[in-house]
Amino acid sequence: MAGFKDQNFNDRRSTSADAKKALLERFKARPAADDPEVQARLAERQKIAEARAARTAEREAAKQAETERAAAEAAEAKALAEREAAEAAEREAALEVERKAARDARYAARKARRK
């Protein structure tokens, strides 16, 4: 096991300078922006970004279509429910009229028997 290494200021300064020099060399070694390899990589990234945008647009269009379909389905269901409620109310009113006619007929028959 290594012991504690006491570095003085000059050692730390030279280590820092070496690190900066290595970083600068690595930066200088990078290919230029007009390098064909860099251009190919950028074109590939652009193609991927366009494909991603197309997939996103397609997904949004499908989502919008599904939302519109669900809204139309809900409107149709609401109209059907309203129509059924109106028909039920109409049937109930007709039944009430029949009941009233039967009740009136019984009342008239009862009055006719008394006379």
Question: Does the model's pTM come out above 0.75?
Answer: no
Domain boundaries in the chain?
31-114
Residue 6: per-residue pLDDT:
75
- Which single residue is written with the structure tokens 């429910």? 81
Identify the band that residue 2 occupies on the pLDDT scale cut at 50, 70 and 90.
low
Q: What percent of the chain has pLDDT over 90?
A: 75
pLDDT of residue 1 exceeding 60, the answer is no
Q: 86-111 pLDDT, tens per residue? A: 999 999 999 999 999 999 999 999 99
Type and span of the H or E element at 52: helix 36-114
DSSP string for residues in 58-75: HHHHHHHHHHHHHHHHHH
3-state secondary structure of 76: helix
